[in-house]
């Protein structure tokens, strides 16, 4: 048997539950929380602001950052120029030119492999589509350039990644296989204390970082 819907009169319930003490203490409790948070911010007990670039948040191992071309043991790229990544790419930012190789176990290799980082949307579809796990993603979040040409990353730029020890590897399907083909030692994040502050209440790693030393020599 279907039960009838229960009708609740919100106004009547509020009137029954209302009292002078509740009406008086309710706003005070809210103000107390506000004043407590303000005191924590002013005294440096907690700060919701990350002082970038001296501090930055630590991203997940599945973060989709700048791409990496993995290598075989002999240093050659694992890519076999199958065009799977270029076909899956929704931004059409991957360009591949194949070439023949002498190794009978490898049908083709990329003579040219380029990613237009300005067009890339960092969706990770290329990583999912690659049958050789030749392309993965890092946790590198900063990609800056002075010319348009610098934003088009070729094979050498995608394979030689001096930024990896600092940022680390990001999204990849098979951790054991990929980690065995990348020769670098990750840096251990160092928790630091900025002047007049401790850290965030939430669990976030604050990593000291300097991207470059400005050239102060104007001669």
3-state helix, strand, coil in the chain (%, to 5): 25, 15, 60
Domain annotation covers residue 5: no
Say how many domains are in the chain.
1
Domain annotation covers residue 15: no
Domain annotation covers residue 35: no
Q: What is the mean pLDDT of residues 114-126?
A: 95
Domain annotation covers residue 1: no
Residue 67 three-state SS: strand
| Alpha-carbon distances of 126 from 13, 69, 84, rounded to whole Å | 57, 11, 7
How far is it, in rounded angstroms, from Cα 160 to Cα 156? 6
Q: Is the pTM of this model over 0.85?
A: no
pLDDT of residue 183: 59
Residue 168 three-state SS: coil
- In the predicted structure, residue 33 carries a pLDDT above the cut 70: yes
How far is it, in rounded angstroms, from Cα 169 to Cα 173? 12
pLDDT of residue 213: 42
Domain annotation covers residue 157: yes
Domain annotation covers residue 131: yes
- In the predicted structure, residue 147 carries a pLDDT above the cut 50: yes
- In the predicted structure, residue 101 carries a pLDDT above the cut 80: yes
Q: What percent of the chain has pLDDT over 70?
A: 78
Q: What is the mean pLDDT of residues 141-162?
A: 89
Number of Cα atoms under 13 Å in the Cβ half of residue 127: 25
Q: Write out pLDDT tens, residues 135-144.
A: 999 988 888 8
In this structure, the chain runs to a length of: 219
Domain annotation covers residue 41: no
- When pLDDT is cut at 50, 70 and 90, the band that residue 197 belongs to is very low
Domain range for residue 67? 47-211
C-beta of residue 64 within 8 angstroms of C-beta of residue 101: no
Q: Which of 56, 55, 49, 213 is nearest to 141 (CA)?
A: 56
Q: Write out pLDDT tens, residues 59-93.
A: 788 899 999 999 888 888 999 999 999 999 999 99
How far, in whole angstroms, is CA 50 from its chain's centroid? 16
- When pLDDT is cut at 50, 70 and 90, the band that residue 205 belongs to is very low
Specify the CATH number for the domain of residue 94.
3.30.70.3270
> What Rg, from alpha-carbon coordinates, does the chain have?
27
- When pLDDT is cut at 50, 70 and 90, the band that residue 203 belongs to is very low
Q: What percent of the chain has pLDDT over 90?
A: 32
Phi and psi at residue 52, to the nearest 5°: -75, 140
């Amino acid at each position: 048997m279907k039960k009838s819907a229960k009708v609740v009169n919100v106004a009547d319930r509020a009137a029954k539950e209302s009292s002078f003490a509740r009406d008086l203490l309710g706003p005070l409790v809210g103000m107390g929380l506000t004043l407590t948070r303000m005191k924590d911010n002013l005294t440096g007990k907690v700060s919701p602001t990350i002082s970038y670039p001296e501090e930055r948040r630590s991203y997940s191992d599945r973060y989709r950052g700048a791409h990496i071309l993995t290598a075989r043991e002999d240093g050659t790229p694992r890519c076999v120029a199958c065009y799977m990544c270029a076909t899956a790419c929704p931004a059409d930012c991957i360009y591949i030119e194949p070439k023949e190789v002498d190794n009978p176990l490898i049908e083709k290799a990329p003579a040219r492999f380029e990613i237009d980082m300005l067009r890339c949307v960092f969706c990770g579809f290329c990583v999912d589509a690659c049958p050789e796990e030749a392309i993965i993603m890092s946790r590198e979040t900063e990609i800056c350039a002075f010319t348009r040409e610098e934003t088009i990353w070729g094979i050498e730029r995608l394979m030689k990644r001096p930024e990896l020890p600092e940022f680390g590897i990001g999204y990849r399907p098979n951790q054991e296989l990929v980690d065995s083909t990348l020769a670098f030692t990750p840096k251990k994040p160092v928790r630091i204390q900025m002047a007049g502050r401790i850290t965030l209440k939430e669990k976030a790693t604050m990593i000291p970082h300097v991207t470059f030393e400005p050239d102060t020599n104007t001669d």
